[in-house]
Amino acid sequence: MSTAVLRRVVITGIGVVSPQGNTPVEFFNNLLAGNSGVSRIKASFVDALETKIAAQADFDGTQYFIKQQLALLDRVSQFALYCAEQAIQDAHLVLSEVEPSRVGCYMGTGMGGASATEDGYDRLFKQKATRLKPFTVLMAMNGAAASQIAMQYHLQGPNLTFTTACSSSAIAIGEAVRQIQHGYCDVMIAGGTEALLTFGTIKAWEALRTLAKEDELNLAHSCKPFSANRTGLVLGEGAAVFVLEELTYAQARGAKIYAEVSGYGTTNDSTHITQPSVDGQARAMQAALNNANLVPHQIGYINAHGTGTQLNDATETAAIKQVFGEHANSLSISSTKSMHGHLMGAAGAVELVATTLALVNNQLPPTINLHEPDPMCDLDYVANQFKNVDNLQHAMSNSFAFGGTSGVLILSKVNNRSAF
């Protein structure tokens, strides 16, 4: 085993598209305010659905891309390109000044170009078309978003797409960090994107019987992680992209630094395709702590996976108790999915934005709709109101997935530098 000292990796730029807004500040302020993005689905097919709610992003690609570009870009790639541009501008990074082979792009997605795929099936089987749009494959393939980013910015380093269901973007970010830590790259563009609110995809999720029932009094209150009356997850869409840099590289160019990505752990449950494992989740959290060289009591906040399903929330609570012991009772934990829904392959990235800004601002977003405590979920979930904390130093973000692949990231402050 090598004894070489790993290089340190920091976040210098953030871009986001979400049901809470399309800038990091707007997104985080809406989280702190407890503003839910869950509403009735706006698509024309809504009346044919059993589940008529989702967390939708207010994003019109025609405002950002010309017609010729849109002919090649599924909504999932539009999200990714928008976020990448936002993150690069936020980092004040001039990519022409960086050796192209030292910059790569890692992205996570669960479904890839879902709209392009569904449009193809619709044309074939409903409209009885004899041929499809010529760029259908190029829009639908899972690697499209990462490839489009690389071409847009002339990135010649490693370019990979990770598809591990709900942990896809957490894995993408963690593996991007490793590229820098081990000296293969100085800069990585990394994150996740998902745009799966199509008729076929929603119907497939309905068949799994994991989607939340509509709240009878207010649709916006339908996602209730850790609550005794939770009924399931709410599908969402969006993306987040980070600029990751080697610490001294970022410092040398005078970059604003949000936080250090100090720990990353990934494991597989190896038990069941849909049922989460306490031991598997615990091993991922412990691996991230070990990687960060931290002990449990140093973590002050966890952005939980917290989907709102009965099994997931109880399992994650038990896993946190297993890893953190008595400190679990002192931890602040929240599920921002209560507001932005479950963004599947983009969830880890979008939730890492929330975790980053919580660390920077010493403000913890709430878990909204938590009014009926569950005896099986008896920790501090920052219920309904955001929390101010003193000098938060280390925060964890959990991403768990169908198939059992877990991705856990830990962020730490660097010199207590504030981002905004």
d(CA 92, CA 114): 32
d(CA 258, CA 243): 10
d(CA 80, CA 143): 11
Active site residue 342: yes
Catalytic choice (105, 185, 223, 305): 305
Cα–Cα distances (Å) from 130 to 119, 127, 171, in that order, read 14, 9, 39
* Number of neighbours of residue 142 by Cβ within 10 angstroms: 19
Q: Helix, strand, coil proportions of the chain in percent (round to 5)?
A: 40, 20, 40
Using the 8-state DSSP alphabet, how is residue 260 labeled?
E
Catalytic choice (83, 105, 166, 223): 166
Structure tokens at 121: 């099936």
Cα–Cα distances (Å) from 12 to 9, 139, 178, in that order, read 10, 29, 16
Active site residue 105: no
- Is 223 in contact with 337 (CB distance < 8 Å)? yes
Which is nearest to 241 in space by CA: 148, 303, 320? 148
d(CA 91, CA 104): 16
Structure tokens at 112: 């890839």
Bridge-based pairing of strands 387-388 and 394-399 is unpaired
Catalytic choice (83, 105, 185, 342): 342
For residue 260, list its beta bridge partners: 10, 412
Catalytic annotation, residues? 166, 305, 342
